[in-house]
Structure 1
Amino acid sequence: MQAAMNDNTHSILNNATAADPGASPSLSATFVCDAHGAMLHWTASAQWLLGYDDAAVRQLSLRDIVSNADALLQVEDAANCVTTSATARRADGSTFPVELHAFPEADGAWRIFACDVTCRKERDIELSQLRTALRQDEVDKARYTATLEAQAEALKQANEDLQRLVSASPYAILSVDPDLRVRLWNSAAERCFNCREEDALGEPLESVLDPSAREPILKGVWRAAAEQRLVQLDDVHVGGDATGGGRLLSVTIAPVRNDSDGPPTGPACMMLAVDITDRRKLEARLAHVQKLESIGELAAGVAHEINTPIQYVGDNVRFLQEAFESLAPSLQELAASTPASDAVALHRSIQEHLAAADLPFLLEECPKAIEQALEGVERVATIVRAMKDFSHPGVEEMTMVDLRNAITSTVTIARNEWKYVADVELDLDPALPLTPCLPGEFNQALLNIVVNAAQAIAERQNSDSSGKGLIRITAKPSGSMVEIRVKDTGGGIPQAIRDRVFDLFFTTKDVGKGTGQGLAIAHSCIVERHKGELYFEVEEGVGTTFVIRLPLCQDSQSQQPTMEQAA
């Protein structure tokens, strides 16, 4: 009987092992119990798996080994072979999952094969987790796919909106690839550069640009690529001929990268061009109007400046008239005399007339009167020339200007603004080169600064009864620039308003005494129109120095001659 049981045990073991690849003989046990669960037979592997020795096993029942009551009842109540899952308990009290194969024997005994399925349970758990993760991945994939589709649709819509916006934009928008071939050209670009979109796309940029705009734009493209920053080109001339015409464009060039951190893509770039022809014309008119307005405001002072020399010209001319009238009788008598006339009597008569006219006095004073009259005439002529130079509409393009004459004329025009509150000192370098600028606009900017300096000194005199102030104007070359400094003794600009000095319509003066446009216009003229610099330095309690820096070279202009070389 023992042999038969052993054979059956091996058969069950082999079958169970085949059924569970995760099991092994060392993780399985076979034992026989009676109808009450008492142990009748067991294998060595059962002792090893459960941790009991031979003597201890004899004291055990099925309930001591199988802790799962439900599984135990199923085994006890079953009339046929039962396979079920249960929990087994080791000698040390630990438990582990097992699969039970129970076979009924005679007399109510059971032959039971137990297999440790811990690894299988762990694999089942892992597999369940993998299946859960896979299902979640599928859900995430579906959600991600839906999101991508929505984003693709939104991107498509945004691209269509962008295309419509670019097409409808009043500004010329164009782009070029790294080979400088056009890949975007909207309808406004057609109008600005007089080239149709179908003729521009795919063509070299150089071939579709107007000849007058080709050089500055290509230089701007390469500079944007080299410096990797926006490049602004103002007053790019397009169209027209040697006699004029055409349009002026403001062109902004932005380099293009592969991505935010990627390397530059050669000269590839985007360009935005705006037709500023009408704006420039309007600015020129407004500047001229503002210039005339300034002259209107200074008219009373200029009239006074002219009236003073006119008065002493008139006084000296009247003196000469009276002198001539006193000498006229002698001249008339001399003219009426004949060779037969009594020379002694004629000489006596002329001497009497000359004595009555006080000839020594006339000989001394008449040359002085003539000299003073000529000085007065020259003074009037100087003021008229200054007004003419200042109020001239000027030119739309840069011209070579003698800044010494421009500064002197402006100071002359503003004389009535400063002569009662300050003295003006000019220190203008004789070697000052001719400088490219817009003379009318420069004169206006300098006038605004000089008038502002005079007003600052006047305000200080009213507040602390200080004496006459000083405005010192210097001009000299400074590297590739010309530097003009206007220094006053007006006490300085308060810290609280320094950031707003160049703001349009900002003023600290009473209503009716200032519009807040002077320094704003000066800043726009120097910085935007001349590509120069305008800033100020403050010495607390002493005064302010406004510094104008103008480049000696504008665009293609090279070294400029000095006044002496030009002469």
Structure 2
Amino acid sequence: MTIPVNILILDDSSVLVEIIEHEPALNHIVCITHIVDNKNDYNKYLENQEPDVILSDYDLPSLDSFEALSIARGYYAKVPFIFVSGNLCGDLEMEALRNGATDCIYRDCLKKLGLVVLRAIVENRNRKMLESLEGLAEDVTERSLVEERIRKINSEYELIFSSIVSVIIGVSCGDIITHWNPYAEELFGIAAGDIVGRVFSELGFDWSWERVYMAIADCVVTNEPVRLDDLSFNRRDGKIIILGLTINPLKRSTSDDIEGFIILGRDLTQRRLLESQLIQARKLEAVGQLASGVAHEINTPIQYIGDNLNFVRDSFLKLGVMKEVMDWCFGQIESASKTGNILGKYLGDESREEVNFLMSEIPAAIDEALEGVERVAKIVRSMKQFSHPSQEEKRPADINRAVGSTVIISRNEWKYVAEVEERYDPDLPPVLCFEAELNQVILNIIMNAVDAIKDAVEAGLIQKGLIGIATRRNDRWAEIEISDNGTGIPEDLQGRIFDPFFTTKDVGKGTGQGLAISYSIISQKHAGFLSFSSTPGIGTKFLIQLPLEDS
């Protein structure tokens, strides 16, 4: 049962009464207000009952405010007494507090009045409860034990409350926040003092309020805890957090009515990122298996095509020698008139021109075919290289070859919108790395460069893009630089591009996982660095740094 709170107000207007009646922080409390404006009525009220708190206008026309404070202390030494004034200077405020006033509120700060009154009520109730406990103690020793036990219980409660690595939010039936633990402060970036006593629905959180209140409604109907998974929350600093909430009904016993709700929450962001990485890894593994199979199927016919073309080329060289002999024989036989006429009919100038044409064009056609075969074979080798299964430990890898293979694999994505300029350091030593994961990082960055270039072309900033790829050694680091002349990254978004689930692409075109996964691969799995510089409208440059010695 809720115990009503008696608030005595000394004022010649009803302003303070209206504020108290409409104060959100006091919605969950039954407040009974009584207003007096003269000394007689003030004394009569105090003679009959003890108020829970006294609010006094400092500028009362019929009663000196300090006298009113003295009268209150004559009746009840510890009842909270709060001055409300618009012209209470610092010296008078200090004098009021020295004479026993609980607090002083300026009229231009009345939005804090509800919280000040709520605090005074709670402290007064706690004081009375402690005094009643003190009355139960038979002697000083027992009183000390009771006080110590209370302090210990409160201390343990605070320790447990502050140590739980989960969000704990208490909400009353009046939709007022009553509890906000330290982990909630850390996760949401809002201090408890700034949020306790406020209306829950008016917090302005950037999340799906419809889902939250549907879960609360289910909790009321079923009288059971309700889970709410994967609730996306945009924090004030721009970071996206994935939350898992459980709405629990707050009751003193199973038969009592619900007095409010306890919302327990966990940060699922890292877990969802790991799950998405696992899904992505499985997808890449499936693609890798497919690429390996395709490479195996293509390699065999390409091999015998190459062998046959080599045979045709070698045979054609022999045919050339035979042609020279035939030309010499033809010249010798042509001197005989009859025989020459017969041979001239079948081996005249037109036939010889055709043979000469074939002799000049067929070698070029064969060379072009062999070049195409070599190009396909190079793609096959790159597919094998890119789809190599993930390793359990780092192995030395040729970074130049790994980057080159990824460029070839992604050629179909960039060849229509950009040129790729490759500069590889021939003296770069092998680097200990997880080659498959490194290929994935390079591919992610190239694909982002392609998207940025496409946007720049559509916006008319450039006619055709340029992707620059270079490797080099820098002291004890192997560096891979990938640059583009695309649209660049807006300055206000540059601090967020490595955040999980953050993307600047349209819905359905980006998951916000590529660069977050890439950053994790380079920094955590390779003890390296992934950084970037970008100028909006000019382009972006990514730099991958890998240690040359495994630390």
The TM-score with structure 2 as length reference comes to: 0.43
TM-score scaled to structure 1, two decimals? 0.41
